[in-house]
Structure 1
């Protein structure tokens, strides 16, 4: 066996351990031909393993990613059924992603992974994802929902989002990708991979992404961003007689400087100019530095595989932003959300004029800016393996994994007071003062075991995940040593799924699993973690040029927990219980390809998601996204209908494709119930706008080395309110154009 084929065969062995899919009637050679290098770690596998998966899985591959050259993960996931997103900055810098109706707030209830490993800065202690990997460098995006979620953890209600970075190529190659666009958009992306020896390969990759931004600050100011990302990979082939194995080292450094704000607009100001920004947000700025290191070992025997990976990530971030108004005279002033929600009240109108920079502030209208300075790390070691056994007509794929994980967040928050003077923020001279100084730390041991049994046309998978979580909270303010908490949780999470192959091209499947989301160490031990029973049933057809999948799901929450962070308007991370909640819906995806006599092809893809939810009891909550909840009301920021239509025309060396994305109106709180005209509800501030965005892209390949591409995002310049949290109406990304050139060498 050649080294080239050995590497690919080993990858398939590992994918089998990671995906939980049956490899019925798929030969090793067929699988090897479909996949690339070993350290390119997929949790799904190739197209054939997806077709035979007893669960809902989706893959956006490199070809699809290159078609639209998206930098925003939200736009990529718009093609995946069952994904709910709340937009925020328009560029996807801090996405809010949920699956199957879980809160999208800071993507904290899904497992965010890179190359099969948790990539969140502190996924147990502080799961809110204020950091997100740069999408521009990814060569694949995988979404796993349903029973298979118990393999990835700790969050098992929704599922896992796994992003694939570029593997070390098996032959010397490189690429330069340069793009320019409106609003000062610039992208410079390049990589080079080389085989130093027959056994040693190296890859270096770097991306610089920047934009001047699309908003306009009152009285001027910077509203843009710049991001950098650098990767190094080293792969060494350790294969010897009887075993195929490799050692892979990956190092990453990334940073960001972005002048974005939580402060939105009044609805009236939005309708007049959706891209206005108040002068009070002129100093709002996020800065972070991120580093990650991974050492991975992969080995394959005759009927088994084992992947062991040690990892460490560090994030230092500081977000300076407008918090609220304060008064030197002890007056209680309304919140920023209250001001922009009701600008007609005389006092609110006065404060709004200060925010706009139209009038100077006095000691009764001091603007408090907070600097949320945080340091986080995540580290651990995990092993995943599989064992394939055959007994007569029965085949077993036994999969197992164990992870030792530790993460921590240190908060060093400060605030400083400012006056508004002639449209500029000026320090009052009081200096900064500390507000939140604490540490949360978590040690977790996770184990999963499952067996996929196949005989004839039946496939049954039974498995269980175990989580042991020890959390430690400490207030570090001098004199507050007694303000500490330690807690421990043990949880068993079972799954059961079944698949029946109706024909060579179609299957039906169903599954049930226990959903779980842990609480962070700061949250009181009396607060029970989130738990649910989750069900799905589906049908999948996979033909030569066509695919269709339909999955109905039902998440039965016995205890829905939400933690409120700054992005939702809370001063600190607090936990709230919503009791019993039902979330249910239907996911559909279809694709086909028409071939014309001229040699052209027309690819067509359609995605539709229906999601509904209801609180099972009435209650009042101080959680701003719930408020006065009546039984039957829906969850906030969950669109009932979502749909995406992709239509293209492709030739031998060119292609043009369009995406039409529709997102239904979403309630702004659990208090909102859609009654009467949806537009009236939107105008009343109860719901976001429903909106439709059309993206168009095209590329032309001059030869095998040079490719030109052009694209238009939001072609018809739709301007809609996508959120009013935490402090007012905010827009989606406006019409933007880009042109780029790729050179392969």
Structure 2
């Protein structure tokens, strides 16, 4: 288990988005400066949103569809998060088969000050480009009842032209503990936003002016609704049961002119393309934890089951010719409409054997039964130069796939003297095909109809040591073997001679890498620390060597896309009395956007993503109940980008934000 550090101080304010506050050795895609979406990748995995992870909030799933569309557009506000944890290796098989493991956002559940019965927090921020954010929470605590609720509102024009946004997030959690054995928790989450999408740029357009936009009519919206009921019952001092029932009802909608960025929105205006996804799922995950002895040696057994039922519908049609955020679908969408009912039953078993006082062995096993179904249609239109339809080709689709998956893993821990330890893991992994990617029609993207699931395994070994309150060091070496890897290659249409990206199983890949996490309390080391001073340095480094290794593949020997060779994040924080000064530096080497390793393109959809650095700075002052903060994101106003999109929010280069100033006032009662 690894904790992702959130660079924030509840007493002195927080950053504008989770993207700016995460200080960990991971590759992050920046969709926007407001923190509406979060994309995390690591150890050779693509960082587009969180598709390679089992993403959870307080231990329950929050993605659109865990089987066919494991995207998590909802991201909790940083002010509400107590901890972000990543569970990898054999232990992650408890939660799913994903290559990246499990990411869990643990929210606050009561007053931060244990002496308080009620606590109010309000963090209000003003930023350049007419940006305003307010976060307000209330937490209460009594003998048997704890509550935590928040409301987060964000609005602004955005750094780029045509990138306004309006976002609302709300959460309510209630925990009732009638006795020492039983605890019941009810949690409700609502997340909704509408954002104008500035669209992508070509390389030439980006270097001329990254703030410019040629799309006024592109919009995107999210509506995420999550309910969870959690029960925790302690059978005895060595055994307890935990059960989580969750329900997700969500939608994502997009409308816009989706041609390549070198093509301007024509006059007279043409109809925009609508892509709509509706998702509904319900599931239960129940686990039993039991500590026992084998011949006077301790052991711990964790076992559980998961039942899941999902339904999804994706549709694509022509929209209006207007400029507004109109996501209305016709009764019979012109291009496609698919229903995806799915079901999943799984069971897992993990046992930790304490072989000696220093050595722990943890084997794990997970069984998955997966049933996925597709029913719908896809229309292809043959048109002439005047855009008149000459022929309509209707392709109905009815598909059922039932499969059994067996996954195994094993972990070994060796505790050293003086707070050091070695940890080694080996586990099999699996990722099913993303059904919405298969059936969405975008001019610059086509999908192999025979695309298959991905399989592979991960292995890692970690050394970590903690020098009490002076320093911490963790060094991990890892291997990711990815068979049947899904990726993008460029092809040319035989009839039109247009080039397009083709999504298919392109090759097996192998990633060898190293992660280093280092925290040093410099104040302790140089005897600066006292009641007035505090000085801390945190550094995270990741190095990846990721290549395609299947010799009969056209991409053999190429670099794996969206995997930079080196990522470095380092922050230095100094506190003096009630003052805080902090700086964060993020450096990333170049990476390719697709598997053929093309260096450049005319439309910006594929090519190299150059190396970059970005520096953030903040300073704050703490009064008795009010904290004031001033911060600058991208202090040097560096022009850079982290993605080339083949569809939304592009297509083309999606520039990251330039210099943005923020002031904030945090009230805590």
TM-score, structure 2 normalization: 0.85
What residue number does 2:104 align with? 162
Residue by residue over 1:247-301, the C-alpha shift from the partner in whole angstroms, topping out at 9 and shown as x without a partner, is: 111112221011114x3122222112110001xx111111222211111111222
Partner Cα separation in structure 2 for residue 563 and residue 518 of structure 1: 17
What residue number does 1:192 align with? 138
Equivalent residues of 2:13, 2:620 under 8 A apart:
no
Which of 612, 619, 625 does residue 545 from structure 2 map onto? 612
Residue by residue over 1:522-580, the C-alpha shift from the partner in whole angstroms, topping out at 9 and shown as x without a partner, is: 7699654211121111211111121101101011223223499xxxxx99999621232
Q: How does 1:67-78 map to 2 (within 5 A)?
A: 69-77=14-22
Is structure 2 residue 182 aligned with structure 1 residue 237? no
Which 10-residue stretch deviates more, 514-523 or 639-648? Answer: 514-523
Q: 1:617 to 1:269 in 2, by over 3 A?
A: same
Q: How far is the alpha carbon of 1:656 from its aligned partner?
A: 1.2
What residue number does 1:210 align with? 155
Partner Cα separation in structure 2 for residue 320 and residue 477 of structure 1: 19
Equivalent residues of 2:201, 2:604 under 8 A apart:
no
Q: How far is the alpha carbon of 1:732 from its aligned partner?
A: 1.1
Q: How far is the alpha carbon of 1:492 from its aligned partner?
A: 1.2
Q: 1:310 to 1:680 in 2, by over 3 A?
A: closer
Q: 1:274 to 1:563 in 2, by over 3 A?
A: closer
What residue number does 1:577 align with? 505
Partner Cα separation in structure 1 for residue 546 and residue 373 of structure 2: 34
SS of match in other structure, 2:645: coil
Structure 1 or 2: more strand by fraction:
2
TM-score, structure 1 normalization: 0.77
Which of 396, 399, 406 does residue 302 from structure 2 map onto? 399
What residue number does 1:512 align with? 426
Partner Cα separation in structure 1 for residue 602 and residue 208 of structure 2: 19
Q: How does 1:333-412 map to 2 (within 5 A)?
A: 336=260, 340=262, 352=263, 354-355=264-265, 361=267, 367-391=270-294, 393-412=296-315
Q: 1:380 to 1:248 in 2, by over 3 A?
A: same
Is structure 2 residue 124 aligned with structure 1 residue 178? yes
Partner Cα separation in structure 2 for residue 387 and residue 571 of structure 1: 58
Is structure 2 residue 63 aligned with structure 1 residue 120? yes
Q: How far is the alpha carbon of 1:514 from its aligned partner?
A: 0.4
Which of 631, 637, 646 does residue 717 from structure 1 map onto? 637
SS of match in other structure, 2:92: helix
Q: 1:493 to 1:525 in 2, by over 3 A?
A: farther
Q: How does 1:522-671 map to 2 (within 5 A)?
A: 527-544=451-468, 545-562=470-487, 576-595=504-523, 596-597=527-528, 599=530, 600-617=533-550, 629-671=554-596
Partner Cα separation in structure 1 for residue 272 and residue 126 of structure 2: 34
Q: How far is the alpha carbon of 1:200 from its aligned partner?
A: 2.9
Equivalent residues of 1:700, 1:708 under 8 A apart:
yes
Is structure 2 residue 3 aligned with structure 1 residue 58? yes
Partner Cα separation in structure 2 for residue 740 and residue 556 of structure 1: 45
SS of match in other structure, 1:549: strand
What residue number does 1:439 align with? 339
SS of match in other structure, 1:434: coil
Equivalent residues of 2:246, 2:282 under 8 A apart:
yes
Return 5+ residue gaps in structure 1 as ranges.
1-43, 45-56, 218-222, 325-335, 341-351, 565-569, 621-628
What residue number does 2:388 align with? none
Q: How far is the alpha carbon of 1:501 from its aligned partner?
A: 1.6
What residue number does 1:24 align with? none
What residue number does 1:17 align with? none
Structure 1 or 2: more helix by fraction:
1
Q: 1:572 to 1:126 in 2, by over 3 A?
A: farther
What residue number does 1:3 align with? none
Is structure 2 residue 10 aligned with structure 1 residue 105? no
Which of 243, 248, 259 does residue 308 from structure 1 map onto? 243
Equivalent residues of 2:487, 2:595 under 8 A apart:
no
Which of 620, 627, 633 does residue 707 from structure 1 map onto? 627
Is structure 2 residue 191 aligned with structure 1 residue 254? yes
Partner Cα separation in structure 2 for residue 575 and residue 708 of structure 1: 49
SS of match in other structure, 2:591: coil
Q: 1:193 to 1:680 in 2, by over 3 A?
A: closer
Is structure 2 residue 219 aligned with structure 1 residue 285? yes
Which 10-residue stretch deviates more, 488-497 or 469-478? Answer: 469-478
Q: How far is the alpha carbon of 1:684 from its aligned partner?
A: 12
Partner Cα separation in structure 2 for residue 133 and residue 110 of structure 1: 16
Equivalent residues of 1:84, 1:104 under 8 A apart:
yes
Residue by residue over 1:582-613, the C-alpha shift from the partner in whole angstroms, topping out at 9 and shown as x without a partner, is: 11111001111022447312101111000121
Is structure 2 residue 360 aligned with structure 1 residue 459? yes
Equivalent residues of 1:439, 1:476 under 8 A apart:
no
Equivalent residues of 1:114, 1:164 under 8 A apart:
yes
SS of match in other structure, 1:669: coil
SS of match in other structure, 2:19: helix
RMSD: 3.2
Q: How far is the alpha carbon of 1:316 from its aligned partner?
A: 2.6
Partner Cα separation in structure 2 for residue 373 and residue 399 of structure 1: 40
Equivalent residues of 2:567, 2:587 under 8 A apart:
yes
Which of 393, 400, 407 does residue 486 from structure 1 map onto? 400
SS of match in other structure, 2:546: strand
Partner Cα separation in structure 1 for residue 156 and residue 472 of structure 2: 38
Partner Cα separation in structure 2 for residue 472 and residue 616 of structure 1: 32
What residue number does 1:469 align with? 370
SS of match in other structure, 1:216: coil
Q: How does 1:4-19 map to 2 (within 5 A)?
A: none
Partner Cα separation in structure 1 for residue 452 and residue 301 of structure 2: 32
Q: 1:618 to 1:132 in 2, by over 3 A?
A: farther
What residue number does 2:492 align with? none
Q: How far is the alpha carbon of 1:435 from its aligned partner?
A: 1.6
What residue number does 1:274 align with? 210
